Structure 1
């Protein structure tokens, strides 16, 4: 069984070992989350070099993971990916093994985003096409920023009152959110 979690790692150091297409995709994901990405690989695709990452164009060395909050092993060498994964695990660093996800401690879910809401989907198996299809199905349900802002203002206002008035205001907000999503009210 796995733990679903959203990590706030903005500004943290991430190491991507590998310089190919998978490494490029993972580096973009990490950059989008605000991480400081360091790529280690003897060969780095131009699309990786074009990203705002630090590149060490050389082979992986023990110790390259020092100070990392997150690691991605994304080479085309299964043995090297295993080596990187083992080192990260020994250091207690979450690691994604791009070749065999089950060997790592971190998997990248498919994500639907809209208006500040983020929904992550994973299948618990190696079926990324299912996770991607589910996020496509979910994305249109996500509220836009205007609705989120209005609901947040209502919640903040409700929290300034006490007792029954607070409970009534929060119940009304809950029912409005559920109605917006096409769900029955909380009392139904």
Structure 2
């Protein structure tokens, strides 16, 4: 069973073992979330090396997992990926096996950020194409702008009211929000 959660790992160190297209996508995701990313691979795509990441051009060594919070295994070698995952788990890190997600304890969902809202979509199975299609569908219906600050202030004001006034104010806010998202 999976726990759906949003994690703030800003400033933490992530290790990506692999230097190809999957490593590039993971590095982009992790750097955008504010993690410090270290890439270990004998060969690295130029686009990956051009990101704000530390690149170590060599094969994986067991000591690479020391002190990292998150590990991504995305090499072309099942043996290497499995070893990276095993050692990452032993070190207490969150681990993602790009080729066999079920071997890790971290999966990367399809993400939609729009109007100040972040939606993460996972199928719970190995069907990233379905999660991506659902993200595209939600993108087509979610407004580009939502008045989150105004709604937050409105909610805070409603919570300061007593009894029936509070319920009425929260009901009005709920109706406004539902209308804004097309319900």
Contact 2:19 2:43 in 1 (8 A): yes
Contact 1:117 1:142 in 2 (8 A): no
The match for 1:68 is 68
* Post-superposition offset of 1:13: 0.7
Contact 2:121 2:131 in 1 (8 A): yes
Q: TM-score, normalised by structure 1?
A: 0.91
| In 1: Cα distance, 2:52 partner to 2:38 partner | 9
The match for 1:36 is 36
Specify every segment of 5 or more residues in structure 2 that has no aligned partner in the other structure, as ranges.
none
| In 1: Cα distance, 2:36 partner to 2:21 partner | 19
SS in 2 for 1:63: helix
SS in 2 for 1:120: strand
Q: TM-score, normalised by structure 2?
A: 0.94
| In 1: Cα distance, 2:158 partner to 2:66 partner | 46
Contact 2:116 2:146 in 1 (8 A): no
The match for 2:91 is 91
| In 2: Cα distance, 1:171 partner to 1:90 partner | 49
Contact 1:117 1:143 in 2 (8 A): no
| In 1: Cα distance, 2:36 partner to 2:142 partner | 29
Q: How many residues align?
A: 183
* Post-superposition offset of 1:43: 1.2
The match for 2:149 is 149
Cα deviation 1:40-69 (Å, max 9, x = unaligned): 111111111100001111111112111211
| In 1: Cα distance, 2:8 partner to 2:114 partner | 18
Contact 1:85 1:103 in 2 (8 A): yes
Specify every segment of 5 or more residues in structure 1 that has no aligned partner in the other structure, as ranges.
184-188
| In 2: Cα distance, 1:122 partner to 1:146 partner | 24
Contact 2:22 2:98 in 1 (8 A): yes
Superposed structure 1 runs of 4+ greater than 3 Å apart: 143-146
The match for 2:113 is 113
* Post-superposition offset of 1:162: 2.8
Contact 1:17 1:72 in 2 (8 A): yes
SS in 2 for 1:64: helix
